[in-house]
A and B are shown apart, each in its own frame.
Chain A
Amino acid sequence: MNLRRDVFQAIADPTRRAILLLVASQSMTAGVIASNFDTARPTVSKHLQILTECELLEQEQNGREIYYHINAKKMKEVADFIEPFRTMWDDRFNKLETIMKNYKSIT
């Protein structure tokens, strides 16, 4: 199965959000990340795989170890995910204001 992962589906999970917070402080290996959770190691690996597939995490080979670090650019996109929704309402309300200002001048 090679689904293109949805980034928002990825951050909907509390464990994955916790992983992102953890890795945000410094790059770490899968083992170190897993040691911070009570969850079984394979489950953590699965979470890491999902976060990597949707590009929130990046892997970096360092000697024999693979380190995970945050992809800041992708994280910013997620932080801004509310923006299109806000813009949609802002456009509507700007329009409302314009229409009612004209209405005011007519009456």
Chain B
Amino acid sequence: MEQKTKINAEDGKQELVITREFDLPVELLFKAYVEAEIVEQWMGTKVLKLENKKHGSYQFETTDTKGNKYGFNGTIHEFSPNLKITRTFEMENTPFGIQLEFLEFEKLKEGTSKLIMHIVYRSVENRDQILQLPFAQGINMAHNRLQDIVNKLR
């Protein structure tokens, strides 16, 4: 399988960078972050609130297959259409704390674009803990969600 998404997480640092090139114009890539119904589809979450502006905030709620609800929220600090979103991210009711996310949207050649997501965590330990999350509960959740989506597509 082609690995389009790359992660650079240097040992002993409290940050990581996720990069991904899309076969989409930057306007459409950006739109996928702005329109609540679209965010809901690809993030597999319910969008309770999404204010795309400086000092705006957002709130997501994900329900797993057992009906357990998980809340996510954050505040938007910078919002430049088709260029940049800077925001915080927090998983509610977890000890993981708040992370800072710098999202940069770049136009490449015609019809293609690149997303650079720079995430800063509170500490090195905090980052490594979160990186391991998909190992534990996350991977099941993601697989279940994928399965649901695939079933709907049939």
Contacts and interface: CB of A to CB of B under 8 A. Distances in A.
Interface of A: 8, 12, 81-82, 84-97, 99-101, 103-104
Given A8-B128, A99-B38, A100-B24, A86 B7 contact: yes
Interface string B16-28: 0010101111001
Interface stretch (B50-58, B94-102, B135-143): B135-143
Taking chain A's interface residues, is the majority helix, strand, or loop, or is none over half, making it mixed?
helix
A99 B7 CA distance: 23
A107 to B, nearest CB: 9
Taking chain B's interface residues, is the majority helix, strand, or loop, or is none over half, making it mixed?
helix
Interface of B: 3-7, 9, 18, 20, 22-25, 28-29, 31-32, 38, 41-44, 115, 125, 128-129, 131-135, 138-139, 142, 146, 149
Contact of B28 (A82, A94, A100): A100
Given A86-B7, A89-B7, A90-B5, A96 B22 contact: yes
